[in-house]
Structure formats: structure tokens, C-alpha cells
Amino acid sequence: MNYGIGEASRATGIKVPTIRYYEGVGLLSPPTRSEGKQRRYQPADIARLNFIRHARDLGFEIGDIRELLTLSTRPDQSCDQVDVITRRHLSDVERRIAQLSALRVELLRMVNECTHGRIYECRVIESIQEAGGA
């Protein structure tokens, strides 16, 4: 049994154009084609797409996923590299959380100072004019 691209899409939750995009950037090798040159996917392709989707859900970028996919096909190698990629991504996520949290504090301060008057006395506008965050 094989899948058309639409079935693959429904099976994985990845949109049809995105599947083609993944093929284009080399995450997925070109599948076999029907006589009329339409893509036909095998269960292994579906598994690979699911892997990609889960990794994207976890925020890994395409380059990392490419590497993780390669590593996952070398079961005997040490998983150190997997660990490195994951930790690097984790610290990236933590850095972004920190940045956004600082922003949040600043924005909260601004909206809390708002007295709902006229623009000329608007504390939000003043905050942006005077200094700004980060």
C-alpha cells in the first residue's frame, strides 16, 4: 500500500505544499512516482514525515532536523551529537524566553501606567519616545 501526497498530508498533519517543500530542501528524498508522475509515499516516508513534524513542533530548525534524521539512521553511533543539538536548542529556547519575559515586564508597566486620556499625556507613547526596552 502507498499514499498519495494528500493522504500523506492527512496522515501526518503536514500540509501538502509543505511536504513538497521538505522534499525540495532535502529533508525527504524524492518518492517514487505513479505513471502520471504523481508522488507515491511508502509507510517509511510517513514515519519520516511524522518525525519531521514532531521535531518542528519541538521548534528544531530544518538544519537540525536534517542532522537528527541522519543520526537516527546510524543506530550504533553514540548519541552525544543528538544531545548537543538538543541542548543547544534548549538554551536557544531559554534565551528567547528570557528576552520575551523582559519585554513583557516593560509592556506591562506601560499599559498599567495608561490613564486612558489623550495622546499628549499618553504614558505608552512617552515610554517609547524616551527610552524603550531591552
Partner DNA sequence: GTACAACCTCTAGCGACTAGAGGTTCAAGG
Partner DNA sequence: CCTTGAACCTCTAGTCGCTAGAGGTTGTAC
Residues that bind DNA (CB under 7 A): 4-7, 9, 15-18, 20-21, 34-39, 56, 61-63
What is the three-class DSSP state of 131?
Answer: coil
Cβ 119 vs Cβ 125: under 8 Å: yes
Cβ 81 vs Cβ 74: under 8 Å: no
CB closer to DNA out of 35 and 76: 35
Q: How far is the CB of 84 from DNA (least distance, A)?
A: 17
Contact call for residue 93 and a copy of itself (CB under 8 A): yes
Work out what residue 37 binds among DNA, a copy of itself, none; the CB cut-off runs from 5 to 8 Å by kind.
DNA
Contact call for residue 1 and a copy of itself (CB under 8 A): no
In angstroms, the CA 85 to CA 41 distance is 29
Contact call for residue 90 and a copy of itself (CB under 8 A): yes
- Nearest residue to 105 (alpha-carbon basis) of 128, 133, 124: 133
Work out what residue 4 binds among a copy of itself, DNA, none; the CB cut-off runs from 5 to 8 Å by kind.
DNA
Cβ 72 vs Cβ 51: under 8 Å: yes
Contact call for residue 109 and a copy of itself (CB under 8 A): no
